[in-house]
Structure 1
Amino acid sequence: MLSRFSAVVFLSLASFAPAAQAQDLTEERVQELVLETILENPEIIRQAITILQQREEDAAANAAQATLETQRQLLEGDPNAPVLGNPDGDVTVVEFFDYNCPYCKQAGKAVEELIASDPNVRVVYREWPILSEGSVFASRAALASREQGKYEEFHWELMAQRGRLDEASVLKVAEKVGLDIDQLKADMESPEVEEHISTTNSLAKTLGFGGTPSFIIGDELVPGMIELTAMQQLVEAARSAE
């Protein structure tokens, strides 16, 4: 079987060769032609790599869209995912984030403004702690704070912190918002907390997200930082499409 690279170069060669001749090429002859062509035209390597990259990007995009369609109910309606804004809003924004991500903190301000300015938007949070052990501790603590009805307050306080969050700084914030620390630590080990983070990791992987923050707004997958204006435009586009 031809290697992927050889196959791509073969397709390039075949486009210049007569149909009958191209059909008669053996694998050995293809490899000879590949080598000859590369030696004579080094730029064909760049062309072949570009073709391969485009195919991989197209395949990844198709897979991500398929995941969005098949997993939309989980992404938007998972009862084990925190929801801020209007729980019955007509447009859902899903955010994958890490408390130690500076871009997430910046995007968090835009999300907060979006919630304040749009009474019909709901925001689903997928805690995705990928940057450090401190990130994992912060996410577990935030998810556990739901048992004490403090998620929203705790979330915004964690987002407002400067510098890297670790166990000590997270617990300091927890005390500030009035959480029972002993209960918090116990609830951090709950199956619900573990399941949320595990599901988030799986969804992020199949959606092709490579880092935080990453958003889903309507049918749009938005990896990376997004400003308030662009966020509002995507929300309105999703609203109009319904």
Structure 2
Amino acid sequence: MTRSTLRALLTAGLVLLAGGAPAQEAPPGFTAAQRAEILSILRQALREDPTLMREALAGLEEADRRDRSEAQRAAIAENAEALFRDAADPSKGNARGDVTIVEFFDARCGYCKQMQPAMDALLRRDPNIRVVLKDLPILGPNSVLASRALLAAQRQGRYVPLYDALLSLRGEPTEAVLRQQAERAGLDWARLRRDMDDPAIAARIERNLGLAQRLGIEGTPALVIGTTLVPGAIELPALERLVAEARAAR
């Protein structure tokens, strides 16, 4: 039996074991005798060459990664309208850019702040990118407060200046801090504070949370670039590579 056949058999055996079927029961598609034979062959192969296990596990991880990628691409396609073409969403960059990046972020998220210089550098280097900003306040009450302030600032045409200020902020976005940052960004605080309590703003945040859930997003930042979902902060070279791939796929 060739090494590749043994590796494939071991992978199948791991799948059987992962299914949790009792030893006396056969999983669907296998008889009890076939299952016993597979496990016997696996035990013998592992005694002779323990490295087969590592290779089989790597194969399972790669298959799992492919499955997740396919599921994510399907979810992006199903939610493309809400992701890329919601006219209510704030954005940065070129409104007519040929590549759109959707950024789910929390204004309190340290990794979002860490990635922000790379995003700004990307927009300076590539004038044909649009970045759609999706508030995803998942880190507590001050995150929600900051998102409400940002979406209220959009009504005064000052979303991006306040966004830039909050992503540079090192302290907590308490109401007092938000007022200070909003006034520095040229916002009417009294109007902003009233708008923050508008149920329509709370509804927009809920829509973003629902969209993130449908995409399987579990943290911030999360980027959608073309058909790729990127969980977590990445550096400028990776951003540029993903933009180039999205542009080539158009």
TM normalised by structure 2 equals: 0.76
Structure 1 counterpart of 2:112, from 91, 104, 107: 104
Gaps of 5+ in 2: 1-17, 37-56
SS at match of 1:64: helix
Give the deviation of 1:236 after TM superposition. 1.2
Residue 139 of structure 2 is matched in structure 1 by: 131
Residue 226 of structure 1 is matched in structure 2 by: 234
Counterpart of 2:226, as a letter, is G
Structure 1 counterpart of 2:156, from 129, 139, 148: 148
What whole-Å deviation, never above 9, does each CA across 1:165-196 have from its counterpart, x for those lacking one?
Answer: 22221121112112111110111123442232
C-alpha contact (below 8 Å) 2:222/2:231 kept by paired residues: yes
Q: Distance in 1 between matches of 2:140 and 2:105?
A: 13
C-alpha contact (below 8 Å) 1:99/1:158 kept by paired residues: yes
Q: Distance in 1 between matches of 2:93 and 2:60?
A: 42
Counterpart of 2:195, as a letter, is D
What whole-Å deviation, never above 9, does each CA across 1:21-66 have from its counterpart, x for those lacking one?
Answer: x5478xxxx9xxxxxxxxxxxxxxxxxx999998887665443322
Alignment of 1:85-124 (within 5 A): 85-124=93-132
Structure 1 counterpart of 2:223, from 193, 215, 218: 215
Counterpart of 1:94, as a letter, is V
Counterpart of 2:193, as a letter, is K
Q: Assess, with a 3 A threshold, how the Cα gap between structure 1 residues 10 and 120 changes in structure 2: closer, same or farther.
A: farther
Q: Assess, with a 3 A threshold, how the Cα gap between structure 1 residues 50 and 75 changes in structure 2: closer, same or farther.
A: same
C-alpha contact (below 8 Å) 2:119/2:236 kept by paired residues: yes
C-alpha contact (below 8 Å) 1:93/1:218 kept by paired residues: yes
What is the aligned residue count?
Answer: 224
C-alpha contact (below 8 Å) 1:8/1:52 kept by paired residues: no
Residue 34 of structure 1 is matched in structure 2 by: none
Aligned residues with identical type, % of pairs: 39
Q: Distance in 2 between matches of 1:172 and 1:112?
A: 23
Give the deviation of 1:94 after TM superposition. 0.5
C-alpha contact (below 8 Å) 2:102/2:133 kept by paired residues: yes
Counterpart of 1:6, as a letter, is G
Q: Assess, with a 3 A threshold, how the Cα gap between structure 1 residues 149 and 8 changes in structure 2: closer, same or farther.
A: farther
TM normalised by structure 1 equals: 0.78
When the two chains are superposed, the root-mean-square deviation of aligned CA atoms in Å is 3.6
1:64 aligns with 2:72: yes
C-alpha contact (below 8 Å) 2:21/2:27 kept by paired residues: no
Q: Distance in 2 between matches of 1:213 and 1:8?
A: 42
Gaps of 5+ in 1: 31-48
C-alpha contact (below 8 Å) 1:105/1:159 kept by paired residues: yes
Q: Distance in 1 between matches of 2:64 and 2:209?
A: 21
Q: Distance in 1 between matches of 2:229 and 2:75?
A: 11
SS at match of 2:155: helix
